[in-house]
Amino acid sequence: MSTIILGIESSCDDTSAAVIEDCILRSNVIASQKVHEAYGGVVPELASRAHQQNIVPVVSEAIRQAGIDKSQINAIAFTRGPGLPGSLHVGTAFAKGLALALGIPLVDVNHLHGHTLSHFIKEDEHTQVPGFPYLCLLISGGNSQIIKVNAPGDMQVLGQTIDDAAGEAFDKCAKSMGLPYPGGPIIDRLAHEGNPNHFKFAHPHVDGYNYSFSGLKTSFLYTLRDQLKLNPNFVEENKADLAAGLQKTIIEILMDKFSKAIADTGIKTIAIGGGVSANSGVREAVQQYADRHHLKAFIPKRSFTTDNAAMIAVAGYFKYLDHQYCDITLPPFARVTI
């Protein structure tokens, strides 16, 4: 008999619900919140209010699109953290209420495990999934980590950022160019038309497999500040080259440590996940590295790189099989690591 999991994700500014049947995706509904665009970043209070408005229609639509009756759901998996407290509370409270009403188990999921296990979302029974262990480069607005995934519930962080995340480097540098939030996807688009070697930015010197992006951010800001003194139209005239140079430097920083970890561990299966793994340059660099070194690379579909409930349902599926249910009294965790 198959196992049907309803996943609920509300950690930041996307309300999402998904239904999977033994990891095969039956529905994945995402309501993105446009309300934050005017503020240049996510406003926590507005995010939790929008989640409250969205959660019932989003969950109903996910169940409808999956073509199931709610009595067929075996368990509910929800994002317990990390994330914005007010946002997490909405998904957590809703998941608890529905699990109680249906009399089914509740499974709490670490959002970062969701990104790392997003490669197990199957479009159909032929979708290939990674074997264990694999090395995952998890890059998002809040995290930059190299994770050794030994099993769905056994993950080891080999390296992580000591300051900003890769997504923050994209977004903060984009903001200093006057681009709207989130700047990452805009930099990606602009970089296609620019010369990546016109401007040079700082590379960090950090121990082990750890990352640092604050030096790059400062070096980018100083370039703008110095050049704007000479030419007030500097940014406008050099947008594409600045974007291409910034993206190239971020990719070099990411690949430098990721390739060291791959070589040192000898692991032959690699993966990327998180919002920044949507970046076309990052995807190309990882695939090219894998081809050169005869590795198997798992690059997620773009729709599974950003926050989505399908990855939460899949991570919850593995815990459900292991009977790792959670207590109805558990609070959400704003800060939690892998």
Output the CA torsion sign for 229, 233, 238, 242. Answer: positive
Considering the rule CB under 6 A, would residue 27 count as an interface residue with ligand KG4? Answer: no
Do the Cβ atoms of 75 and 325 come closer than 8 Å? yes
What is the DSSP code (8-state) at residue 176? Answer: H
Q: Which ranges of 67-141 does DSSP label H, i.e. alpha helix? A: 85-102, 111-116
Q: How far apart are CA 63 and CA 131, in angstroms?
A: 30
CA proximity to 299, closest of 160, 124, 157, 119: 119
270 is in an annotated binding site: no
Contacting ligand KG4 within 253-272 (CB under 6 A) = none
114 is in an annotated binding site: no
In one letter, which amino acid is 157? V
7 is in an annotated binding site: no
Q: How far apart are CA 143 and CA 81, in angstroms?
A: 13
Considering the rule CB under 6 A, would residue 307 count as an interface residue with ligand KG4? Answer: yes
Answer for which of 28, 92, 110, 306 binds ligand KG4 (CB under 6 A) is: 306
Considering the rule CB under 6 A, would residue 141 count as an interface residue with ligand KG4? Answer: yes
Quick one: 238 or 306, whose CB is closer to ligand KG4? 306
Neighbours of 112 (CB within 10 A): 27
Quick one: 12 or 17, whose CB is closer to ligand KG4? 12
Considering the rule CB under 6 A, would residue 12 count as an interface residue with ligand KG4? Answer: yes
Answer for which of 86, 91, 105, 182 binds ligand KG4 (CB under 6 A) is: 182
Answer for which of 63, 276, 285, 299 binds ligand KG4 (CB under 6 A) is: 276
Q: How far apart are CA 196 and CA 329, in angstroms?
A: 52
Considering the rule CB under 6 A, would residue 188 count as an interface residue with ligand KG4? Answer: yes
Answer for which of 81, 105, 159, 184 binds ligand KG4 (CB under 6 A) is: 184
Considering the rule CB under 6 A, would residue 142 count as an interface residue with ligand KG4? Answer: yes
Binding residue numbers for Fe cation: 111, 115, 307
